[in-house]
Structure 1
Amino acid sequence: MASDSNPRPANASEDRPKIVFFGDPHGDFNPVLDAVERLQPEAIVFLGDLQARQPLHVELAPIRKQTKIWFIHGNHDSDSDEDFDHLFHSELGDRNLDGQVQVISGYRVAGLGGVFRDKVWDPALPLEQAAVPSAESMAAHARRGRFGTEVDLRSTWRGGILRKHHSSIFPNVYQALCRLRADILVTHEAPSAHAYGFRALDDLAVHLGAKLVVHGHHHKAIDYLKEGLIGPDSPFLVHGVGKNGFLAWPPRGQE
């Protein structure tokens, strides 16, 4: 694991990380630009809550030709129209890993963006008991309105689901991921070893066959194995990445 205080030399190609995972920027991309300049990673992955103050491709213009850029969204990426549009409607909007697996620098990386909200799905309950199975079903219900014919504007945004729920985790996205295979799972929420984590993410990692789970959201760098939050028999390693921090992968000297 690399940290801002111990960056790898950019001129040492053997130390060049395959992927650097970045914790929640919340609009401040200077640490990202600095780290990419120093580390020269093959690819970077944001772990949500980007909240870009201008379109993401503008924020990251200095490094777009240096590295491949991917992201998942966090709960704050739907806080405002600007937060939403600067991410999802930027020229990098198609680099959202949510609900899919992409091969990035030789690793199969799966992404699950957003957060669990009980009005959609309380992950302590079975999937079949979820309040809303998909964004499509939520949008259809909102369009029908209270009387079955008129649109209830209090339940819609831009003709679809409320903006907030663009950062909700829907059961159908989770189920689709469970049918795929990946080496690494990136999430905004944390798995169950965190005090505010979710066992549903453990189960997802096991379904995927992932050996590494990396998350943001909680603004703290955590090596779960080193801190005794998981044991050596855990089927996967877990790392939390702090706000404006990063995790370089693979660890130095390992593949």
Structure 2
Amino acid sequence: MPVIDRPAQDWDPAAYGRFRDLRLRPALDLLARVDALPDGDIVDLGCGSGAVGPALAQRFAGHRLIGLDTSAAMLAEAQATGAYARCEVADAATWQAAAPLALIFSNAALQWLPDHEALLPALALQLAPGGVLAVQMPRQHAAPSHRFLREFAADLYPDRFDFADWTPPVAAAIDYHRILNPLGLLDIWESEYLQRLAPVETGHPVRRFTESTAMRPILEKLSEDEAARFVSRYDEALRAAYPVEADGAVLFPFRRLFLVLSTLQS
């Protein structure tokens, strides 16, 4: 039976942190495109375990940094970094700032939320004049790593998974441009990272990468035996889509979308 990181009720910082460096690099690339900020607090929206907190705090030392996430376990890790003035449990879909913000920074979080056409402008409206909305989201849904998850879940367990009306969680860059361009100066781009995943003792390295994130909603609905059956099929397909290199590692292309919106000065 394959070794599987079963999703707990809360996010598991250790499982998510297994690929910390690969997940942190896009956050730092996003941060590098944020320029000077007006007065106000900075919110790390969906801060997770706070991996980018120290970099945010160092870059904008004159601002108070607040971490928000839905996971209490992740927030405990974030608070322990010492980078945040405070960390709070909050849902990005309904959260409202108490005062206009200098920066809302969100790395690999908003893809979990629907209705970006309403959500992103609502976040932008919480910025101070000259404030910045900086967002990075994985746009990996068409790749085998994520497509297989939907296909195999629907095939093996159609009583629980129906993707007939499924829409991608992250739209095309042109769609976000049309949504946000009227609100300020917009910089939007996509990057594909060629990630080297080290060998693992059991299973396929790509599966070990996805099981703490994209695979979670599927595993949550499966029994132990069902999960083992699903994972065995997934591992087999991944071996064909992402072959093992001579050193035992796997090369895993991963696409991400970035946007930086600078609101207009009053």
**Given the two structures, how large is their TM-score scaled by the length of structure 2?**
0.28
Select the structure that is richer in helix.
Answer: 2
Which is richer in strand? Answer: 2
Q: TM-score, normalised by structure 1?
A: 0.29
